[in-house]
Amino acid sequence: VTVEAVVGGSVVLPCSSAEHDLKLEDINVHWRQNGSICVYDIIKGKDSMAAQDPRYMNRIKTFPEEYVRRNLSIKLSCLTHADAGRYICHITPSDEQETVLLIINGV
């Protein structure tokens, strides 16, 4: 999936699970940028910022009411050129993975 956004704007990075027999409290979601930078974690169905890279602090919005529908997308705001890149949403224990390519346009 490729999404485009502009500097200073916000964007939703889509991620969903096809695994319907998992309980929400068993699901872990790890959002990473360019393979290693911790963007956001959802641990056992709850938001966790313990390992979050400081540059994402207070810039991520999640949609907890959507978790039950297996929508694990995040919204990233106050975008900068540094946010451009490949984001991976890794869902365990189902071992699903989605990759989102973020392109930042603007000055």
pLDDT of residue 103: 98
Averaged pLDDT for residues 34-41: 96
Chain segment 1-25, per-residue pLDDT in tens: 999 999 999 999 999 999 878 888 9
- The predicted model scores a pTM of 0.94
Could you give the residue ranges of the DSSP H alpha helices within 1-107? 64-67
